[in-house]
Structure 1
Amino acid sequence: MEVERVSTGCEPLDTLLNGGVEKGVISNFYGESGSGKTNVCIQVAAQVAMDGGKVAYVDSEASFSPERFIQIASEEALDNIFLKDVTDFEQQDETIEGLENLVEEKEIDLIVVDSLVSLYRLKVNGENAQEVNQELSQQLSTLSGIARNHNIPVMITNQVYTSFDEEGLELVGRDVPKYWSKCLVKLSQGDKNVRKARISKHRSLPEGKEVRFEITDEGLVEASEGGLF
């Protein structure tokens, strides 16, 4: 069976992902602050909206910029974005639970949650970790079910922290988002506006594959030779 994908509107990312973000699964873009997570979300949302598709965009960090979106797409395309700002983890839970109805009513073609874990991070502590992790897992289960049932891509972003138990960076939420995400892409900041995207996990593409791209006023494009890591 042929895998269906949605173009990111960025040639290097499409090359990395063999055509774009995969329908029917959760794709998780993670990295440190400034690595380009929100720019990737807005880029893909703009591409889908410009093509006439509709996007459900859940924003937990007030990071979606209509001005940035219009730079890449147009004011008309902005009408295809159904934006929901969430300010606490309970509201995020309610919003994700309500996405199924929105997808059916508005015929949504893409779901974006940026970021999945920022409000989770504010709520979780040593005493309630198991309970909050279960809530996070349920949110991801709901998103995964919507992706499968409606054959649409779900994009989430994930924050990271420095792990002292293991080398390098660890995803906030650790195994919970890793389990539910069928595609994990690590974003890294390079020289100036250049970023690197690297596949950490994918069910059909090789791990370790990576590309560079550049953040410009018009969107995400192939990086110039000057962008070094």
Structure 2
Amino acid sequence: SDFIAGNAEELARKCSISYKVLLSIRKVLFAHFAAIPISGANLYQEVISSVAILQTGCKSLDRVLDGGLYTCELVEMAGFPKAGKTQLCHSVASTVAVESKQGVLYIDTTGGFSGQRLNEILDQKGCTRLTKQEALQRIQCKQVFDIYDLLELLEEVRGRLEQGQDGANVSFKMVIVDSVSSLLAPLLGGNQVDGQALIGHLAQALKVLPVEFYTSVLVTNTVVQGESWDEKKPALGRSWQSVPHTRIMIKQDSAVGIEDTAVPLGIQRRKAVIIKSQRQPTGISASFVISERGVTDPQGSDPVAVSPATT
């Protein structure tokens, strides 16, 4: 800061360089590190030319997401254990790979990734052997069980995107982290002093991908007790709640009864509720089912209004 804000003539004498050279160095530093204002019109044109919408494979979920997963946003899926978050990640990864024909980086922090499950979903989609092989090649999985390893991997991802290539020579448009809470939760509370700082580092490393490189980021999170006994909210506290552009709570679908014939035995029905969004009203929801085909629409489902959830 002294080099930038200090008196140029005095700095030139102290550094034993000419006044003109010092001004040139300052100009280079400003060009690389300063926040340069951009007009709204230019930003709009950049978004129009660069942003894509990736479908999830579930039409009702795409509708409440205003078309699907945007490549300029970070989306969080939060829910109780066994809510179907990992199943949803597998289903989204397979859909992006086979239908959008885009690369996916799947970061597994829980050991829940299953190549066999991806293969099963693609089989149920009716993919030919060649199409399935090409889709599977577009999905890369990295297992990470330490927050520092995750930060290092995300920095590596950023470097690859800056160079316009990755390890498999496939440019990916989606990064999935399943899940962020499994790495961060043990570092929060008690005598842990680094947890909040690590949340900040992770937030920056994740948000730079959609903001600078137009890569869709999908993360999963668990839930904790809310203000009332029957209320649940996403984990990781206030410092994390501003990080995702869109937050979705995965719940059990209370509309399903014991004798519900629309959902066959062995198929789980869930409800996705928008609790934060830049484009959609909070409180709208969509029902979906988890089956051998992945995450799909139940028969005759449409987004319906529900009471707004508390973040």
Deviates more, 1:27-36 or 1:74-83: 74-83
Deviates more, 1:110-119 or 1:81-90: 81-90
- Unpaired stretches in structure 1, ≥5 consecutive residues: none
User: Counterpart in 2 of 1:127?
Assistant: 191
1:81-134 Cα distance to aligned partner (Å, 9 max, x none): 1211011222222222222123332322101111011021123332224x2121
Equivalent of residue 231 in structure 2, options 163, 168, 182: 168
1:121-156 Cα distance to aligned partner (Å, 9 max, x none): 123332224x21211221111111111111121101
Distance (whole Å) between structure 1 residues aligned to residue 108 and residue 90 of structure 2 = 11
Residue 102 of structure 1 aligns to which amino acid in structure 2? Answer: R
The Cα of 1:42 is off from its aligned counterpart by: 1.2
Give TM-score scaled by structure 1 length: 0.90
Is the counterpart of residue 5 in structure 1 residue 68 in structure 2? no
Alignment of 1:1-229 (within 5 A): 1=44, 4-50=52-98, 51-73=100-122, 74-103=132-161, 104-106=164-166, 107-129=171-193, 131-164=194-227, 168-190=231-253, 191=256, 193-224=268-299
Residue 80 of structure 2 aligns to which amino acid in structure 1? Answer: E
Decide whether the 8 Å contact of 1:214 with 1:224 is kept in 2.
no
**Alignment partner of 1:194: what SS?**
strand
Distance (whole Å) between structure 2 residues aligned to residue 221 and residue 165 of structure 1 = 32
Distance (whole Å) between structure 2 residues aligned to residue 172 and residue 43 of structure 1 = 23
**Alignment partner of 1:24: what SS?**
coil
Deviates more, 1:54-63 or 1:184-193: 184-193
1:199-219 Cα distance to aligned partner (Å, 9 max, x none): 000011010000100111112
**Alignment partner of 1:98: what SS?**
helix
Distance (whole Å) between structure 2 residues aligned to residue 165 and residue 218 of structure 1 = 36
Runs (4+) off by over 3 Å: 1-4, 163-167
Over the matched positions of the two proteins, sequence identity in percent amounts to 25
Larger radius of gyration: 2
Residue 184 of structure 1 aligns to which amino acid in structure 2? Answer: R
Q: Give the count of matched residue pairs.
A: 225
The structure whose RCO (Cα within 8 Å, separation 6+) is larger is: 1
The Cα of 1:79 is off from its aligned counterpart by: 1.0
Residue 188 of structure 1 aligns to which amino acid in structure 2? Answer: K
Decide whether the 8 Å contact of 1:34 with 1:189 is kept in 2.
no
Residue 204 of structure 1 aligns to which amino acid in structure 2? Answer: R
Decide whether the 8 Å contact of 2:71 with 2:173 is kept in 1.
no
Give TM-score scaled by structure 2 length: 0.67
Q: Which has the higher strand share?
A: 1
